Structure formats: C-alpha cells, structure tokens
Chain A
Amino acid sequence: MSRALRLLLAAAGRTGGALVLLMGASFVIYITIRSAPGDAIDAISPMGTPPQVKARLLAEFGLDRDPLTGYFAWLFRSARGDFGDSLVVAAGESVMAVAWPAFKITLILSGLTLLASLALALLGALVLGRPAGRQQLLTGPLYVITSAPSFVQAVLLAQGLNWTIHRYWEQLNYETPPWYPIPIYTDSLMPYVFAGLALLLGDGLFMDFFNAIRAELEGLRDAQFIAAVKAKGARTWGHIARNMLVPLVSGYAARLPIVLGGVVIVEYIFTLEGAGYLLLEASRERDFPVVVGISVLFTATVIGSTLIADVLRTLVDPREVARGG
C-alpha cells in the first residue's frame, strides 16, 4: 500500500471512530433525559407547558417508545440538525436557529483564547527556557492567580471593566471594522476581550499549557537526535519546530474541553450571548430542547477537535500509521 492510501485509510478509520463516539455520547445524553424522575415529560418540561406541546415533545424525544428505538428516532432527527423547537428562550423557533449563531460566538471566543494561550505559553517557554531558582519563586504567585477558576477571574475583571467603562468608555461608541469575523452583539469589543482574558488567566489553563510546552521543548532540546543534528553542523530549529507541532496540536485539542467548560459561566458574567449564556438561560427556564441541542453541539466540538488533532498527527508523524489504527 502506498503511504498516501494508508494515510487516507487511517484518517477514515479515525473519523469512523469519532462518529461512533459521538453516537455513544449522544446516547448517554439521551439516557440522562429518559432517567428524569416521575413522569418524564412533566418533570423535564417547564411549568404550564400546554398539553399539545407536551405531546409533541413526547414524540420528538421518542419518550413514548422503548429507549433504543426512541434513541434512534431522536438520533436521526438530530443528525439532520433538527433538535426540535425551543419552548421558552425563543419560543417556537427551531433550536438550531437559536443555538447555532450563539455557538459560533462561543467557538470563536474559546478557539481564539486557546490560541492566544498557546502563543503566549510557547513564547514564554522559548524566552525563559530552564527555570532558575529565583524564577521558580516568582512562578508561585502566578500559579495561584492562574489556577483560580475563570469565573472568579471574570468577576474580578468585570468589576474592573464596570469601573473602567464608568470612568472612560461610557460615551465612546466602538465601530466594528467590516473585515472583523466575530459577530458583534454589543457596541463594544471590550467584553469579549475581557472574557477572553478571564479564560486565559483562569482554570489553571495557562500554567498547565506553559509547563507542558516547556517540558516538551526541554525534552526536545535534550533529545539525542538534536545533539546529533548539532554535531553534524546543521541548524536545530527546523527539527525542533517540526517535532513540536504534534504536541502543540494535541495540547490544543486536549485543552479545548477545559475552555469550553469555563466559557459557559464567563459568557454569563459578561452577558455575551453565546452558547454558554443561552445554555444557562435555557436551563433556568427548563427549556430542555435547547439544553440538549447545545450539549450535543459542545460534545461534537470536543470529539471533532480531538479528531482533527489525531488526523494531523497521522499526517505529520510517520510512526502513527505504523502503529496502526
């Protein structure tokens, strides 16, 4: 078999595996819905839901059938992007129509934040290198600050933001440049920047990333093949960069779930109308089709990012294919 064909097969195998995982995860979500106490439909739908809506929900979630057929009915509807209609948050509208635009905001916010975290961590690791005695003492306070949950960071920053806006920004109107990719719902970009900052500084994300990258970089610098490259008189940075690519991408994918966890509450604090905000609103109002739809979207994102990292690793690292799917 040629290498290209093997790569293609490996990628196909990985995608198949990811789809199976997604099915499994959605099954867990479905079973959670079915395990509602008492009469399921009364327990999960908000108070005062009219009987015809309840009947529709019953059919949509296959609650009137046995779990397995009910699950597959729901799965096929979901696979077509049909998560039913929202009950309260945007009553009558389809869940996807509400959730998708909000989800885009969340995805871009968390994706960019993580990218910034990666860039900063990489830069730090390159500049600082091996930590010396005094540096280690300095990292202590930094460690405490960055292990605080992102919502605590967000509360502190929001207080700062409020104060700043009161002081300087109240009269200013920010205009979105036409090229800007993030849909802007508020007049100012500042809340996004602050939300990003809270995510970046919180949940132990940065220090974890930084330490992982630094360890990886140190390991590479001490690797025997780098010594061999030096000994033959070639430059090492090309080799180091190539070998850093895989851990960087894997690290990125592995940390996305952490950021997606933090983003929910941070969006809520800064009232950014992303999927997290929507999720909490819907959860508060017991608008469970929306909650379920967003949960599936988040789960799919986690699986998708891992898949992308896996495929990329297969492309970059020849040992992956040899190891077999």
Chain B
Amino acid sequence: MSRLLDVRDLVIEFDTRHGRKRVVDGVSFHLERGEVLGILGESGSGKTMSTLAVLGLVGGRPGVVQGQVLFDEGAGPQDLLADLGRVVKPRGDRLVKNDRRWQRLVHRTMRPLWGRAMTAVFQNPRHSLDPLMTIGAQVEESVRLAQPELDRAGRAGRAVEWLARVQMNDPKRVHSSYAHELSGGMCQRAMIAVALARAPMLLIADEPTTGLDTTVRAEIVALFRELLADRRRSMLYISHDIREVLFLADRIIVMRHGKVVETVAVADLKAGVGERHPYTASLLAAADLAFEAAA
C-alpha cells in the first residue's frame, strides 16, 4: 500500500469579529490506498475545516491555510498547497492573503482533481443539491464527466442505474424529481450517487448523517459500508458519532480544539489494546460503549 493522502502540519486561521481564530492547529494525518479513515470530533473541533482544506473548498473567508497536503494520484505525491504560499504575505503580526489570487490558484490546482481524484458528500443533503435542477440532471452531469462517450439516452440510463445502486425505491421517479420533493435521506442517497458516478479515488464524507433520523442514518451508514465493500475506494469519513466511525473506519483520528488527540486502529480500540486518551474514553462512555482488553 502507498499513501494516497498525507496531510502535514495543517494550520487554518480565520478572521472573526473577535479577532483571528485558529480553527485547525497543526493537524497531521495520512490515508493509505483502499483505507477508510474516520475523523471523530465534536462541533468546533476543526474536523470539517481540515477536510475542506484537502478539497480546496475552505472558501473565500479572510484567513489562511498553511501546511502540506500531499496527494498521490499514482505519479508521486503532489503538494496541493504548494502554490498558495505565494499569495500569503505577512501584515503586522499576522499573515493575510490576496483572496482572488488565492481562489484562482486553488482552482488551477484542484480543477483536474475534483470529481475524478477526490469528491465529497456533505452534511445538509438538501442544500447540497441544486434546487432548480432535477436529481437526474445532476447525476447525469457527473456521468457525462466520467463517461463523455455516452449519448443522451445512455447517460440517462446510467443515471437511473446509479440511483438504483444507492437503493432508491423508485429510481425513475427520483430521476425526474427535484430536491425539495425528496426527504433528507433520499437527498443524501442522491448526493452519494452524484459523487460515486464520477468513480473517485477518494470519497470525503463530511458528517453525511447529521440531521437525519435514527433509522435513516443507519441505512445511509450501511449503504456506505456496502459501497466500500470492494475496497477499491478510499474514504475519509467525518462524524461526531463514535458508533458510525467505529462501524465504518479502519482507523480513526480523534480531534479536539483543532488538534489531533489520538490516532488508533479500530481493531486495536475494539480489542482494548493500549491506553485511551481521556477524551476518547469520555466519548465512548457517552455512547455507552466499553471495550475491555481481552486479558
């Protein structure tokens, strides 16, 4: 196995009303090919920001991203943040960036990667879909990018196939529906279809079950598990729910206040190998989970 992603010393700072705030403070983690890495943390722990930085989607807010994000498509690692240092300048005691040039550079680096090499499923599935386009059209957009050789009918057929693969009850009807006509769980399934139709190397799922009902959440998590069964895809799974992460991931990192407090293989954790960080232990306790060392 070779490393697909290697994040080193990632720092993200934002300007807020109360001054500059460091939301991610020197985070490092890596992801092997075919591995599922769970990132566990509560709101404000910086887990979402870290993954958005990998995706180049931190957005145009005033603030800076520093560190290294090494992504290896197969031809050797490429630092996705390498160019960005050029638009960051010190002003006074802090660093500021030229927003527009920053955005341009991010686009130049990320455009060839988005979709094909890495893609994402976000929380709030209802807001992840274009409200004015049918679900089918949005899946077809992905299909067209992945398989440009297909004609109209072929694309529509593939889109329906994908909708069926994410276990929609009536894929044909969903194909011609709009986001507001579907429930949150259905929207999330549609988003997963949109993302997977591009056959990405790395899928980033950012709290995909937050705000969904208990049973629906279980279904979505199970769907992820099934879609990952062949292990050809790597995934970063971000969640605040320790059960989900333990269920899906091979390895988890636990984040708190912008820092990684623990990295542990799920098998070790379940077997009770080694000491747990007190914070991880409290998360386990809150979820009524106890793993004892097998003697």
Contact = CB atoms under 8 A, between A and B. Distances in A.
A touching B, CB within 8 angstroms = yes
Interface of A: 129-130, 132, 221-225, 227-234, 239, 242-243, 316-319, 322
B60 A130 contact: yes
B252 interface: no
Contacts of B198: 232-233
Contact of A228 (B129, B178, B180): B129
- Most chain B beta carbons < 10 A, residue from A227, A228, A229, A232: A232
B250 interface: no
Given A224-B122, A228-B122, A233-B198, A317 B132 contact: yes
- Most chain B beta carbons < 10 A, residue from A222, A223, A228, A243: A228
Interface string B52-64: 0001010110000
B127 interface: yes
Nearest to B61: A222
Interface residues of B, number: 34
25 contacts: A129-B100, A222-B59, A223-B127, A225-B128, A227-B57, A228-B128, A228-B194, A229-B130, A230-B110, A231-B55, A231-B118, A231-B119, A232-B115, A232-B141, A232-B145, A233-B114, A234-B115, A234-B141, A234-B145, A242-B132, A243-B131, A318-B132, A318-B178, A319-B180, A322-B181
Nearest to A240: B130
A239 B130 contact: yes
Contact of B191 (A223, A228, A239): A228
B177 to A, nearest CB: 9
B195 A232 contact: yes
Interface of B: 55, 57, 59-60, 99-100, 110-111, 114-116, 118-120, 122, 124, 127-133, 141-142, 145, 178, 180-181, 191, 194-195, 198, 204
**Dominant SS at the A interface?**
helix
A319 B119 contact: no
Contact of A232 (B127, B132, B142): B142
A185 B178 CA distance: 52
A318 B177 CA distance: 10
Nearest to A233: B115
B130 A132 contact: no
A130 B99 contact: yes
B142 A322 contact: no
Contacts of B57: 227, 230-231
B130 A231 contact: no
Contacts of A243: 130-132
Contacts of A229: 130, 141
B86 to A, nearest CB: 18
